[in-house]
Amino acid sequence: MNPQSTPTTSAPADETSTLSLALAWVFVGVPLAWGVSQTFIKALALFK
Amino acid sequence: MAENSTSFLDRSRTVAGPGYSRWLVPPAALAIHLAIGQAYAFSVFKKPMGALISGNVDAPAPDDWTAGQLAVIFSIAIVLLGLSAAVFGKWLERVGPRKAMLASALCFGGGFLISALGVSMHQIWLVYFGYGFIGGIGLGIGYISPVSTLIKWFPDRPGVATGMAIMGFGGGAMIGSPLAVALMAQFKDVAPMGVAPTFIVMGLIYLAFMMFGVFTIRVPAEGWKPEGYVPKTNQNALITSANVDADTAIKTPQFWLLWVVLCMNVTAGIGVLESASPLIQESFSDSAMGAGRGVTAAAAAGFVGLLSLFNLLGRFFWSSASDKLGRKPTYMIYFGLGIALYALVPTLAANASLTLFVVVCCVIMSMYGGGFATIPAYLRDMFGTMQVGAIHGRLLTAWSTAGILGPLLVNYLRDNQKAKGLVGAAAYQSVFYTMAGVLVVGFIANFLVSAVAERYHVKNPAPVPATAGAH
């Protein structure tokens, strides 16, 4: 896996830190996980 | 100042500099798709919006909006999704994903705000215009906005990349539904059924959430490729290294075959979605399963939730698998296995095989979701990356078509069987057999897909305007 881009032309530095990458995934991951958990709880009714 | 703020949105300002991680692009895409995926949860508003005057969902007033009037809102949105994706696809390729994502966020969030006004004034045409028309345009632009960018960042695994984003669309309904229920409960004392303030809050939340995508998205510099990535050549005739522009693509038989593939896959999936709750309750009732062992309404809602989970997982699983299996074989599985499973459903329902019935429906739904998520990578294989977003946009008219025709067909078949006096699983037999037939059409269309003829290829691709390479 190559997480860093290697542009062929000069462009301003756009360094991505591990923290900002993790925060970005948390930002979208938390609502998604909440939605999935709500649906999962609802789905459990089928097995009761 | 104004010039600076405008240029922030320009494609040239979105070109990634050294050190930018391509793994930031999927969260940016998810921010858009998780928001607009709320559209699939719009039905949660149906009952409250049908009781704005009476204040009682079980006893609507004569002037309350009917279920039929409310159903039009989603229909307009889904039609506009396809139309706007088709119309704005080339614009998106020209201006880049950031400007398109901003347009989508403003339309989608704005659609909620206009609809809040419509609900407050009890003017349904304002809701049609707000959520349906303006919001629908936001849906279409938002749906396609990150797709070509993801494909360009992940040439080594386009199925994984687009699967992640389009999985977000499935997940959006899972967030949107409980969020709306919670907000309406919170605001129920402030406004009739709490709908208008819920629309305002959701519009603002989604606008802010989508802005994360606007700020985070980057396009790769011209000529960029992942370190160590060597494009495969001549291994698969269905994966081209050439490019076809969007206007030419729609003149190829391959485009229309894939249009049929998507349309048939969606139509059949809608057959299950529309029938799932009543079918499981009617087929596995107390009389079929024994007193107290039948499927209750709550359990049926749980079944629909389970189908949503498999719809979501299928988007990522099947699309990722298609990177290994190839797109055409993956759709052969969707259709081949799908035909067998759809034909099996009525038998399982008639025999009261609840566990198998649930398993089969879950597999079917995973392939329904997979069909959505795999199609961008299929288009990229056939037509190249140059205008894949625009081509994808035009193909989404197949979804709109299925979104209208599918429910019409399913409801007609079911009502027709019930009018003949058939009940339980028997009333749904023709639905599932017809859907298996629909999949046969899709199977044939996919079987006929071959490489795009060289005469359609762009001879000298024009450079993408205003990338880093142009500076």
Dist CA B213 CA B26 (whole Å): 9
Taking an 8 Å cut-off on Cβ atoms, the answer to whether A14 and B218 are in contact is yes
Amino acid type, B88: F
pLDDT for res B421 = 85
ipTM: 0.85
Tell me how close the Cα of A48 comes to any Cα of chain B, in angstroms.
Answer: 8
Taking an 8 Å cut-off on Cβ atoms, the answer to whether A6 and B31 are in contact is no
Homologous superfamily assigned to B2-228: MFS general substrate transporter like domains (1.20.1250.20)
- Exposed, middle or buried by CB within 10 Å (0-12, 13-18, 19+), for B471? exposed
Mutate to test the interface with A, among B20, B160, B169, B284 (most CBs of A within 10 A): B20
Q: For chain B, what are the domain ranges?
A: 2-228, 246-456
Nearest to B162 by CA among B242, B331, B170: B170
| Residues from chain A contacting residue B471 (CB–CB below 8 Å) | 9-11
pLDDT for res B392 = 94
pLDDT for res A30 = 97
Q: What mean pLDDT, rounded, does chain B reach?
A: 89
Dist CA B247 CA B280 (whole Å): 45
pLDDT, tens only, B353-377: 889 999 999 999 999 999 999 999 9
Q: Residue B78 contacts by C-beta under 8 Å, 6 or more apart in sequence?
A: B39, B136, B139, B399, B400, B403, B404
pLDDT for res B286 = 81
pLDDT, tens only, B392-434: 999 999 988 998 888 888 888 888 888 888 877 788 888 899 9
Nearest to B101 by CA among B152, B34, B151: B34
pLDDT for res B415 = 84
Taking an 8 Å cut-off on Cβ atoms, the answer to whether B178 and A2 are in contact is no
Mean pLDDT to the nearest integer, B191-217? 96
Question: B348-353 contacts: CB < 8 A, separation 24 or more?
Answer: B349/B279, B349/B283, B349/B284, B349/B424, B349/B425, B349/B428, B350/B283, B350/B424, B350/B425, B350/B426, B352/B283, B352/B284, B352/B288, B352/B289
B181 pLDDT above the threshold of 50: yes
B16 pLDDT above the threshold of 60: yes
Dist CA A45 CA B465 (whole Å): 54
| Residues from chain A contacting residue B228 (CB–CB below 8 Å) | 2
Q: Which of A1-5, B52-56, B114-118, B406-410 has the highest mean pLDDT?
A: B114-118
| Residues from chain A contacting residue B22 (CB–CB below 8 Å) | 2-5
Give the pLDDT band of residue B62 (cuts 50, 70, 90): very high
pLDDT for res B316 = 94
| Residues from chain B contacting residue A9 (CB–CB below 8 Å) | 221-223, 468-469, 471
More confident residue, B158 or A9: B158
CATH architecture of B246-456: Up-down Bundle (1.20)
More confident residue, B41 or B207: B207
Taking an 8 Å cut-off on Cβ atoms, the answer to whether B224 and A7 are in contact is yes
pLDDT, tens only, B437-457: 999 999 999 999 999 999 999
pLDDT for res A1 = 39
| Domain B2-228 identical in fold to domain B246-456 | yes
Taking an 8 Å cut-off on Cβ atoms, the answer to whether B305 and A40 are in contact is yes
Amino acid type, A44: L
